[in-house]
Structure 1
Amino acid sequence: MSTVNSTSAPQASATAARPGYGQLLRTPGALSFVLPGFAARQPFAMLTMSIVLLVQHTTGSLGSAGAVSAVAGISMALCAPQTGKLADRYGQRAVLIPGVVVHAVSVILLAGLALADLPLWALFLAAVPVGASVPQVGPMVRARWVSVLDRPGRSPLLPTAAAFESVTDEFTFVVGPVLATALCTWVHPGAGLAAEAVLILAGGLLFAAQRGTQPKAHGLADEHARVEHVSALSIPGVRVLAVAFLGIGAVFGGMQVALTAFAEEIGQAGVNGLLYGIFAAGNMLAGITFGAIAWKVGPQRRLILGYTGLAIAASTLWMLHSVALFAIVGVVVGVCIAPAMISGFTLVGSLVPASARTEAFTWLTGAIALGQAGAVTIAGRLADERSASAGFLVPLVATALALATLVALRSRLHPTSRGRTVARGVGHRIPVAVD
Structure 2
Amino acid sequence: MSGTTRAGSYRDVLMLPSALRTFVPALGGRLSYGLLPLSLLFTVQQSTGSFSTAGAAVAIFGLASLSMPYKARLVDRFSQRRVLPVLAVGCSAALLAIAWWTSNLVLVGAAGLLAPPLGPSMRSNWRLLTDGSTLKERAYALDAVSEECLFLGGPLIVGVLIGVVSAPVALSCSAGLMVVGTLAMVTSPVTRHTTAAPATRHPLGPLVIPGLRRILVVIMVTASGVSLAYLCVAGTAQRAGHPGAAGYVEAAIGLGSATGGLLWARRNHSRPWSTHLAGLIAVLAAGLLAASFAPNLVVLGVVMAVAGLAVAPLFVVSYLAADTVTPAHQRTEASTWINTANNLGSAAGSALAGLLIDRTTPTHGFQAGAALLALIALAVSRIRKPRDGG
Same fold (TM over 0.5): yes
Following TM superposition, by how much is the alpha carbon of 1:267 offset from its aligned partner in structure 2, in angstroms?
Answer: 6.9
Identity %: 24
Following TM superposition, by how much is the alpha carbon of 1:378 offset from its aligned partner in structure 2, in angstroms?
Answer: 6.0
Correspondence 1:27 to 2:16: yes
Letter in 2 for 1:359: E
| Native 8 Å contact 2:141 2:261 kept in 1 | yes
Letter in 2 for 1:137: L
Letter in 2 for 1:218: T
Letter in 1 for 2:35: M
1:300-331 Cα shifts (integer Å, max 9, x gaps): 21111101222332456567685423421331
Between 1:29-38 and 1:390-399, the stretch displaced more is 390-399
Task: Report the Cα distance in structure 1 between the residues aligned to 2:118 and 2:384, rounded to whole angstroms.
Answer: 29
Partner of 2:250: 276
Structure 2 residue ranges without an equivalent (≥5): none
| Native 8 Å contact 2:6 2:266 kept in 1 | no
Following TM superposition, by how much is the alpha carbon of 1:249 offset from its aligned partner in structure 2, in angstroms?
Answer: 4.4
| Native 8 Å contact 2:81 2:192 kept in 1 | no
| Native 8 Å contact 1:302 1:339 kept in 2 | no
1:101-136 Cα shifts (integer Å, max 9, x gaps): 2222333444568xx7x7xxx64x444223322221
Aligned positions of 1:149-298 closer than 5 A: 149-151=130-132, 154=133, 156-184=134-162, 188-210=166-188, 212-214=189-191, 216-218=193-195, 231-247=205-221, 249-250=223-224, 271-298=245-272
Letter in 2 for 1:71: I
Between 1:189-198 and 1:127-136, the stretch displaced more is 189-198
Partner of 2:88: 100
State the number of aligned residues.
385
Partner of 1:348: 322
1:203-250 Cα shifts (integer Å, max 9, x gaps): 12211222x01262135x8xxxx7775722121121122223324544
| Native 8 Å contact 2:232 2:365 kept in 1 | yes
The verdict on how the C-alpha distance between 1:59 and 1:317 changes in structure 2, with shifts beyond 3 A counting, is farther
The verdict on how the C-alpha distance between 1:68 and 1:375 changes in structure 2, with shifts beyond 3 A counting, is farther
Task: Report the Cα distance in structure 2 between the residues aligned to 1:111 and 1:387, rounded to whole angstroms.
Answer: 41
Task: Report the Cα distance in structure 2 between the residues aligned to 1:185 and 1:321, rounded to whole angstroms.
Answer: 35
TM-score (norm 1): 0.74
Between 1:173-182 and 1:335-344, the stretch displaced more is 173-182
Partner of 2:50: 59
Correspondence 1:142 to 2:133: no
The verdict on how the C-alpha distance between 1:320 and 1:198 changes in structure 2, with shifts beyond 3 A counting, is farther
Between 1:44-53 and 1:171-180, the stretch displaced more is 44-53
| Alignment RMSD (CA, Å) | 3.8
Partner of 1:72: 61
Task: Report the Cα distance in structure 2 between the residues aligned to 1:192 and 1:392, rounded to whole angstroms.
Answer: 35
The verdict on how the C-alpha distance between 1:255 and 1:307 changes in structure 2, with shifts beyond 3 A counting, is closer
| Native 8 Å contact 2:145 2:262 kept in 1 | yes
Task: Report the Cα distance in structure 2 between the residues aligned to 1:295 and 1:56, rounded to whole angstroms.
Answer: 47
| Native 8 Å contact 1:139 1:361 kept in 2 | yes
Task: Report the Cα distance in structure 2 between the residues aligned to 1:66 and 1:382, rounded to whole angstroms.
Answer: 22
The verdict on how the C-alpha distance between 1:261 and 1:19 changes in structure 2, with shifts beyond 3 A counting, is same
Following TM superposition, by how much is the alpha carbon of 1:358 offset from its aligned partner in structure 2, in angstroms?
Answer: 0.7
Task: Report the Cα distance in structure 1 between the residues aligned to 2:68 and 2:81, rounded to whole angstroms.
Answer: 15
Following TM superposition, by how much is the alpha carbon of 1:382 offset from its aligned partner in structure 2, in angstroms?
Answer: 7.5
Structure 1 residue ranges without an equivalent (≥5): 1-11, 417-435
Following TM superposition, by how much is the alpha carbon of 1:347 offset from its aligned partner in structure 2, in angstroms?
Answer: 1.4
TM-score (norm 2): 0.81
Partner of 2:75: 87
